[in-house]
Amino acid sequence: MSAVARTYQKGEIPGVIAINPDICKGCDACKRHCPTGAIQGMFGATHSIDVDRCLSCGQCLINCPFGAPYETSFTVDEVIAKLKDKSVSVVGIIAPAVRVAIGEDFGLPVGTLVTGKLYGAMKKAGFLIFDNNFTADLTIMEEGSEFLQRARHAIFGEKSEHGGEIGPLPQFTSCCPAWVRLVETHYPALIPNLSSAKSPQQMAGTVAKTYGPAVWGKKAEKIYTVGIMPCTAKKVEASRPEFKSAYEYHKQKGDAEAATPYPDVDTVLTTRDLSLLFKKMNIDLAKEAEYGGDSLFAEYTGAGTIFGNTGGVMEAALRTAYAILTGQELKPLEFKPVRGLKGVKSASVTLKDSKYNKEITVQVAVVHGIGANIKPVLEEVLSGTSPYHFIEVMNCPGGCINGGGQPIVGSGSSWLGAVLPWFAWK
């Protein structure tokens, strides 16, 4: 990989993973899981992390046999204090992959889907429920529409309605912050290829603080948003200084009360953090009654649900593009492993563009576990020889269900095998 081109912006958390030198045995196991070579140290010596190379993905943390890596950003107690403050509405933004993993922290079989119990436990803790699947649907609509615009620009020379620039093909998905940081730090020439859509977490924070005040009867300044994610990198994402859209919206409207900008997402808890929060509050998720949510922010489609699985984002976005063009449902795509490109799956779909009365055949690819798999894909794109128009990239092997913030019990394909069925097409 090329030299690091970008580290952190002012105000951004400069990485959330470190290695405890008192525990590290220098066994090198973590290095096999690190996508960027950020872990330093000779075999047998204490290891450390180069934060400028680190993506905060947490793969070293969940794969270290000795438990030496740890998270440096920990806000469970801060969230509990907010939950006890009756002047504040605390909104829990629950990602798709959390609900199939958190049950095991409360003695349920690995892979048990606990959406209703999770909602119930969160309600008991004092959260307002915001299902991240709701904004996964929004992300899909944005990414699908953007892809259509880029494709029509590339094929038919169509211009932007508003005169803005249209990004090149292939379009990369942008919902994985570890992947976005990899592009920014190691492949900055490809930044224009990233979708301009925010991730579901960041859309949720913005929606909660713009539409939320009308739904919950609270000023944006009194809404505290908590991303509940399978992912450690989401902690860094939420701290990026550009993610203050709700504040900017209220400032333009003239009803911003806060003198200084506030973030769209105030803090992020991993699945492990949420388990700890429940335990500190004496809430046993396994014994909670099922709860269905209490606002439209708990509504979502099957497309949002498959976000947690590799291939889900791109397939759902293509479905949107297909529906816009044809008014019909796209059948589930059949992915095939691509010869010579390890860890990459591809598919093709032909769309009839009714506006131009022409058929477009779209080649799509899905990459996960980027350490070993992404380089040849990006080299093809950089050299102009990539056959693909749309590429989904997720840092973690298997996607977010195997994220660095998930419970550390079970491992490998048996764990993935237990949870994958929940992300099948609904």
Annotated catalytic, 24?
no
Annotated catalytic, 165?
no
What is the helix, strand, coil percentage profile of the chain, to 5?
40, 15, 45
Q: Is 274 in the site for ligand SF4 (CB under 6 A)?
A: no
Question: Do β-strands 344-353 and 358-368 pair in parallel, antiparallel, or remain unpaired?
Answer: antiparallel
From candidates 178, 197, 238, 298, binder to ligand SF4 by CB under 6 A: 178
Total residues interacting with ligand SF4, rule: CB under 6 A: 39
Q: Which positions from 19 to 38 touch ligand SF4 by CB under 6 A, shown as an x/- string?
A: x----xxxxxxx--xxxx-x
| DSSP string computed for 79-92 | HHHHHH-TTSEEEE
Q: Is 377 in the site for ligand SF4 (CB under 6 A)?
A: no
- Catalytic pick among 56, 73, 89, 195: 195
- The conformation of residue 55, written as its DSSP 8-state character, comes to -
- Catalytic pick among 175, 176, 231, 396: 175
Residue 291 CB neighbour total at 10 angstroms = 18
Complex with ligand SF4: residue 362 or 374, whichever CB lies closer: 374
Q: Which positions from 336 to 375 touch ligand SF4 by CB under 6 A, shown as an x/- string?
A: ----------------------------------------
From candidates 47, 152, 235, 244, binder to ligand SF4 by CB under 6 A: 47
Q: Give the Cα separation of 93 and 205 in Å (integer).
A: 8
Least separation in angstroms between CB 200 and ligand SF4? 10
Q: Is 69 in the site for ligand SF4 (CB under 6 A)?
A: yes
Q: Which positions from 400 to 419 touch ligand SF4 by CB under 6 A, shown as an x/- string?
A: x--x----------------
Annotated catalytic, 143?
yes
CA–CA distance from 161 to each of 164, 318, 351 (Å)?
A: 8, 21, 22
Annotated catalytic, 242?
yes
Q: Is 64 in the site for ligand SF4 (CB under 6 A)?
A: yes
Report yes or no: 335 and 309 within 8 Å, Cβ to Cβ.
Answer: no
Least separation in angstroms between CB 338 and ligand SF4? 20
Complex with ligand SF4: residue 38 or 362, whichever CB lies closer: 38
Annotated catalytic, 237?
yes
Stretch that binds ligand SF4, among 18-26, 77-85, 143-151, 205-213 (CB under 6 A): 18-26
Omega cis (within 30) before 170: yes
Taking the alpha carbons of 191, 197, 202, 205 in that order, is the dihedral positive or negative?
positive
Report yes or no: 306 and 217 within 8 Å, Cβ to Cβ.
Answer: no
Report yes or no: 172 and 393 within 8 Å, Cβ to Cβ.
Answer: yes
Stretch that binds ligand SF4, among 17-25, 131-139, 342-350, 413-421 (CB under 6 A): 17-25
Report yes or no: 183 and 172 within 8 Å, Cβ to Cβ.
Answer: yes
Residue with tokens 């991730």: 199
Stretch that binds ligand SF4, among 66-74, 83-91, 262-270, 413-421 (CB under 6 A): 66-74
User: What SS3 class is residue 71?
Assistant: strand
Q: Is 204 in the site for ligand SF4 (CB under 6 A)?
A: no
- β-strand partners of 344: 367
Annotated catalytic, 195?
yes
Token output for 174: 């942008």
Residue 266 CB neighbour total at 10 angstroms = 22
- Catalytic pick among 71, 143, 315, 392: 143
Annotated catalytic, 396?
no
Question: Do β-strands 17-19 and 344-353 pair in parallel, antiparallel, or remain unpaired?
Answer: unpaired
Token output for 299: 């509504």
Complex with ligand SF4: residue 66 or 156, whichever CB lies closer: 66
Least separation in angstroms between CB 179 and ligand SF4? 6
CA–CA distance from 329 to each of 105, 313, 366 (Å)?
A: 38, 16, 21
Least separation in angstroms between CB 420 and ligand SF4? 14
- Residue 96: name the closest of 6, 175, 210 by CA: 175
**Among all residues, whose Cβ is closest to ligand SF4?**
403
Complex with ligand SF4: residue 178 or 306, whichever CB lies closer: 178
Complex with ligand SF4: residue 45 or 286, whichever CB lies closer: 45
- β-strand partners of 39: 49
Annotated catalytic, 161?
no
Report yes or no: 364 and 392 within 8 Å, Cβ to Cβ.
Answer: yes
Complex with ligand SF4: residue 176 or 285, whichever CB lies closer: 176
Chain contacts with ligand SF4 (rule: CB under 6 A): 17, 19, 24-30, 33-36, 38-39, 47, 49, 54-60, 64, 66, 68-69, 176, 178, 230-231, 233, 394-396, 399-400, 403
Give me the active site residues, please.
Answer: 143, 146, 175, 195, 234, 237, 242, 400
